[in-house]
Amino acid sequence: MGLKHKDLLNLSSLSADEIRLILDTSESFKEVSGREIKKVPALRGKTVVNLFFEPSTRTRTSFELAAKRLSADVINFSPTTSSITKGETLLDTARNIESMQADIIVLRHSSPGAADTLSRGVRSSVINAGDGWHEHPTQGLLDLFTIKERKPDLQRLKVAIIGDIAHSRVARSNIYALTKIGAEVRVVAPPTMIPRFLERLGVQIFFNCDEGLIDVDVIIMLRLQLERAGRALFPSIREYARLYSLTQERMKQAKSDVMVMHPGPLNRGVEIAPEVADSPAAVILDQVANGVAVRMGLMYLLSGSG
Amino acid sequence: MTLLIRGGQILDPGRYQGQGDILIENGIIQSVGQDIFKSEKDTQSLTVLDAKGLLVVPGFVDLHVHLREPGFEYKETIATGTASAVAGGFTSICCMPNTNPVNDNQAVTEFILSKAALAKKANVFPIGAITKGSEGQELAEIGELSEAGCVAISDDGRPVMNSLVMRRAMEYAQAFGMPVIDHCEDLHLAAGGCMNEGIVSTELGVPGIPGASEEVMVARNLSLAELTGAQVHLAHLSTAGSVRLTRDAKDRGIQVTAEVCPHHFSLTEEATRTFDSNTKMNPPLRTMEDIEALKQGLADGTIDAIATDHAPHAVQEKQLEFDTAPFGIVGFETALPLTLVLVQEGVLTLETAISKLTVEPARAFGLNKGTLAPGADADVALINPDAAWVVDPNKFHSKSRNTPFAGWNVRGRVIATVVGGTVVYESR
């Protein structure tokens, strides 16, 4: 069975079976990264372009490594200015890149829907590597992959996502992936960070962090955008940390074998206490490693090799 | 110069309905009715516009359009905008002042009027700015704007946030009998928003514009209208709450009129799921509950007029990412079929629907338009309400193509448009 899509733009439109297919395929690629020669010829002769309009080290590097381990040629293209200031539309930029016979374009952009717009204008496969607050589908997939490694029975899990849900593409992709797969999803945040009608996505909402953590198997922390402090969303970093920071004390509410995730980069001492980030419960570095495997699996499937 | 519109089904809302002819002399309607001419021979010296099988209505009056000239001629000019208007059956249009320079002085008003006179299509009624540069600070010279030919004042998309300035504008405009139009948006509540704040914006991660950003300003304007006694016109209502507030104000006798745009009763926020920037307008597409309330508001008279908010933008602007693309869509050439859907659905009678495009908007701004009464300016639209066609933006007379209705199968077509006794558009 293959993936019947040209692109990966979001997780909201994928079926549970398609998500499982990507995870299963990625599993076989995880082994590659442990070999002495970390390469398979699956995408030999193919070209992958990383088109990043927003600064990103970890996601871009992860895609680059994944493509290289599949033997693809990789180009990194990071326009420093937006298309507006440069006077060139996203579509024009992408068509230029397509003319260089790119097979896969990996797009990171600050505008929600940028990957959708791009996919309509080019024949290349488009992978959304984060578009505004919309989605970050490969992050959602690698998080699910990481959870499954430790806790394979996904449908029985209680997962809490803590932080600024409204402005988080990671939260959205995680909510779509986890609810589709059948996990119980809670979101924990002050009301200013919960978008309207969020409960309709099948999640439970908690304003109180301790209550939200009771009996959960997995905690996904979101990075707090510190510059939002004082500007209507929350009064101060100090108060946010006091109410929502994941501390060892707070973690006691959760199951004893709880796992803690964070998409990085961490604000230590703000949303997550250093002792928690460095504890055995934290799988933050596993997430990074799994990111490469999941992106390999995905690119393999999208290239039609599946 | 004499024109005879012959053999049509005449519908002049609230005044005349029936098979008949319209005789026009020197741009003025002379007589309307059956058997104006006893024999064929009498008509031989006349120009005859055959209206057989067609509905003959007053030319449409649009209270809210953007003609973009001066300043943004790459989007639209007064010539192309008025050509688009008459292709949609609109014979009188009121253009917003957000040009460059802003229409906040008589030189700009006179420029617009002179361009409109050269274009020889629709009648153009400029709307002057409320404040200098539409900056919301100091009142524009409203008296001079009135003398130059402005029929109303508005800062439209840059609404006056300072309620004291708005109060003074409402007081001052009464000296000239001008209505004050407000776009009704709290810019703080709406800041950064690109679509309705609701379930779809939550799912898509697109910054939302809450209905409340409109409703708090509707409420403010109604309070100020009550305080000042001004005639206030509420632009493009889009929410159930705005309809409720307006209905309540009208019940209490406050002088207020309101308009709705066809897209706001034809599409919901669901249309935005594709991130198509042609579904991006301000106010944004709302929900089905809002649509129901807008239709109810049209039916019970809370909403007086249907206006297009015709807002042309160039292709390259609408090709930008959803959050950076400008707000707005073109509206003239799709307004009639979208309005007739309300008739097909039984929301409005045909007569009421036509009144929302003619006599009602004319009344709102005190324009001597929107009627086929003898003595009135001969502005007439001939329409085939049943003609089916497919919306093809490439065939628009507007310079711009930004519409969410491309490819729609619609019913209701403008066959000919007469302005001041001259046929300015014919599609057959």
* Residue A81: pLDDT band with limits 50, 70, 90: low
For A23-67, how does the pLDDT look when each residue is reduced to its tens digit (9 = 90+)? 999 999 999 988 999 999 999 999 999 999 988 889 999 999 999
pLDDT at A305 over 60: no
Please give the structure tokens belonging to residue B57.
């209505």
**If you measure CA to CA, which chain B residue comes closest to A10?**
B204
pTM (2 d.p.): 0.95
Parallel/antiparallel/unpaired status of strands A158-162 and A218-221: parallel
Q: Assess whether A108 carries a catalytic annotation.
A: yes
Handedness of CA A36, A41, A42, A46 (dihedral sign): positive
Q: Judging by beta carbons within 10 Å of its beta carbon (0-12, 13-18, 19+), is residue B301 exposed, middle or buried?
A: middle
In this complex, do A133 and B323 lie within 8 Å of one another by their Cβ atoms?
no
In the prediction, which pLDDT does B369 show?
98
pLDDT at B428 over 90: no
Kindly state the average pLDDT of the residues A177-188.
98
Q: Kindly report the CA angle at A79 between A78 and A83, in degrees rounded to 5?
A: 140
Taking the CA of residue B101 and the nearest CA in chain A, the distance in Å comes to: 23
Q: Are B65 and B94 a contacting pair, CB within 8 Å?
A: yes
In the prediction, which pLDDT does B39 show?
61
**CA A255 to the chain's CA centroid:** 24
**CA B116 to the chain's CA centroid:** 17
Q: Are B213 and B186 a contacting pair, CB within 8 Å?
A: yes
CA dist., res. A294 & res. A68, Å (int): 14
For A267-290, how does the pLDDT look when each residue is reduced to its tens digit (9 = 90+)? 999 999 999 999 999 999 999 999
**CA B390 to the chain's CA centroid:** 22
In this complex, do A111 and B321 lie within 8 Å of one another by their Cβ atoms?
yes
DSSP B312-352: ---HHHHTS-TTTSPS----HHHHHHHHHHHHHTTSS-HHH
* Residue A128: pLDDT band with limits 50, 70, 90: very high
In the prediction, which pLDDT does B45 show?
76
**Phi and psi angles of residue A232, each rounded to the nearest 5 degrees, phi first:** 80, -30
CA dist., res. B418 & res. B426, Å (int): 9
List, by residue range, all CATH 3.40.50.1370 domains of chain A: 16-135+288-305, 137-283
Q: Judging by beta carbons within 10 Å of its beta carbon (0-12, 13-18, 19+), is residue A153 exposed, middle or buried?
A: exposed
ipTM for the assembly: 0.94
Q: Are B49 and B423 a contacting pair, CB within 8 Å?
A: yes
Q: Are B398 and B85 a contacting pair, CB within 8 Å?
A: no
CA dist., res. A261 & res. A263, Å (int): 7
CB proximity A222 to B under 8 Å = no
CB proximity A136 to B under 8 Å = no
CA dist., res. B101 & res. B182, Å (int): 20
For residue B316, list chain A residues with Cβ-Cβ distance below 8 A.
Answer: 89
pLDDT at B330 over 80: yes
In this complex, do B206 and A196 lie within 8 Å of one another by their Cβ atoms?
no
In this complex, do A91 and B319 lie within 8 Å of one another by their Cβ atoms?
yes
Nearest neighbour of B205 by CB, restricted to A82, A172, A196: A172
Return all residues near A11 (Cβ < 8 A) that are at least 6 apart: A19, A135, A137, A140, A141, A173, A176, A177, A180
In the prediction, which pLDDT does B380 show?
98
pLDDT at A84 over 70: no
In this complex, do A117 and B321 lie within 8 Å of one another by their Cβ atoms?
yes
In this complex, do A201 and B202 lie within 8 Å of one another by their Cβ atoms?
yes
Q: How many residues does chain B have?
A: 428
Provide the residue type at B135 as one letter.
E
Catalytic residue among A46, A60, A109, A136: A136
CA dist., res. A12 & res. A175, Å (int): 9
Kindly state the average pLDDT of the residues B362-381.
97
Q: Assess whether A86 carries a catalytic annotation.
A: yes
In the prediction, which pLDDT does A132 show?
95
Q: Are A128 and A11 a contacting pair, CB within 8 Å?
A: no
Return all residues near B218 (Cβ < 8 A) that are at least 6 apart: B184, B234, B237, B241, B242, B245, B246
Least confident of A62-71, A88-97, A103-112: A88-97
* Residue A226: pLDDT band with limits 50, 70, 90: confident
Provide the residue type at A303 as one letter.
S
For A236-254, how does the pLDDT look when each residue is reduced to its tens digit (9 = 90+)? 999 999 999 999 999 999 9
For residue A12, list chain B residues with Cβ-Cβ distance below 8 A.
Answer: 203
For B49-101, how does the pLDDT look when each residue is reduced to its tens digit (9 = 90+)? 999 999 999 999 999 999 999 999 999 999 999 999 999 999 999 999 999 99
Q: Kindly report the CA angle at A208 between A203 and A213, in degrees rounded to 5?
A: 65
Return the SS3 of B67. coil
CA dist., res. B52 & res. B7, Å (int): 5
pLDDT at B35 over 90: no
The beta-strand segments (E) located in chain A are 47-52, 73-77, 104-109, 125-131, 158-162, 184-188, 204-206, 218-221, 259-261
**If you measure CA to CA, which chain B residue comes closest to A113?**
B275
In the prediction, which pLDDT does A306 show?
46
Q: Are A54 and A34 a contacting pair, CB within 8 Å?
A: no
CA dist., res. A251 & res. A272, Å (int): 11
Taking the CA of residue A9 and the nearest CA in chain B, the distance in Å comes to: 12
When the pLDDT of each residue in chain B is averaged and rounded to a whole number, the result is 96
**If you measure CA to CA, which chain A residue comes closest to B274?**
A116
* Residue B42: pLDDT band with limits 50, 70, 90: low
In the prediction, which pLDDT does B197 show?
98
Q: What percent of chain A has pLDDT over 70?
A: 95
Please give the structure tokens belonging to residue B305.
């007029």
* Residue B399: pLDDT band with limits 50, 70, 90: very high
Kindly state the average pLDDT of the residues B21-34.
94
For residue B206, list chain A residues with Cβ-Cβ distance below 8 A.
Answer: 112-113, 132-134
CA dist., res. B127 & res. B139, Å (int): 14
Class of domain A16-135+288-305: alpha beta
Q: What percent of chain B has pLDDT over 70?
A: 98
The residue among A108, A134, A175, A187 with the most chain B CBs within 10 A of its CB, best to mutate, is: A134
Q: What percent of chain A has pLDDT over 90?
A: 82
The residue among B203, B313, B317, B318 with the most chain A CBs within 10 A of its CB, best to mutate, is: B203
Return all residues near A155 (Cβ < 8 A) that are at least 6 apart: A181, A182, A183
In the prediction, which pLDDT does A87 show?
61
DSSP B106-139: HHHHHHHHHHHHHHTSSEEEEEE-SBGGG-SSSB
Catalytic residues of B: 309
CB proximity B203 to A under 8 Å = yes
CA dist., res. A16 & res. B389, Å (int): 41
Query: Which H/E stretch holds residue A118?
Result: helix A114-121
Catalytic residue among A25, A47, A59, A146: A59
Please provide the distance, in angstroms rounded to a whole number, between the alpha carbons at the two ends of chain B: 23
Q: In terms of C-beta distances under 8 Å and separation of at least 24 residues, what long-range contacts does B288-292 make, across chains too?
A: B289/B240, B290/B211, B290/B238, B290/B239, B290/B240, B290/B264, B291/B264, B291/B265, B291/B266, B292/B240
Residue with tokens 């409005």: B348
**Phi and psi angles of residue B16, each rounded to the nearest 5 degrees, phi first:** -150, 140
In the prediction, which pLDDT does A79 show?
80
For residue B274, list chain A residues with Cβ-Cβ distance below 8 A.
Answer: 116
Query: Which H/E stretch holds residue B21?
Result: strand B16-25
pLDDT at B104 over 80: yes
Topology classification of domain A137-283: Rossmann fold (3.40.50)
Kindly state the average pLDDT of the residues B291-301.
98
pLDDT at A195 over 70: yes
In the prediction, which pLDDT does A199 show?
98
Rg from Cα positions in chain A: 19
CA dist., res. A113 & res. B323, Å (int): 9
Nearest neighbour of A89 by CB, restricted to B201, B206, B319: B319
Kindly state the average pLDDT of the residues B216-238.
98
Kindly list the strands in the beta sheet with A158-162, ordered across the sheet, starting from the edge strand earlier in the chain: A204-206, A184-188, A158-162, A218-221, A259-261
Question: Angle of helix A58-69 relative to helix A137-150, nearest 10 degrees?
Answer: 80
Domains of chain B: 2-56+377-426 (2.30.40.10), 59-364 (3.20.20.140)
CB proximity A205 to B under 8 Å = no
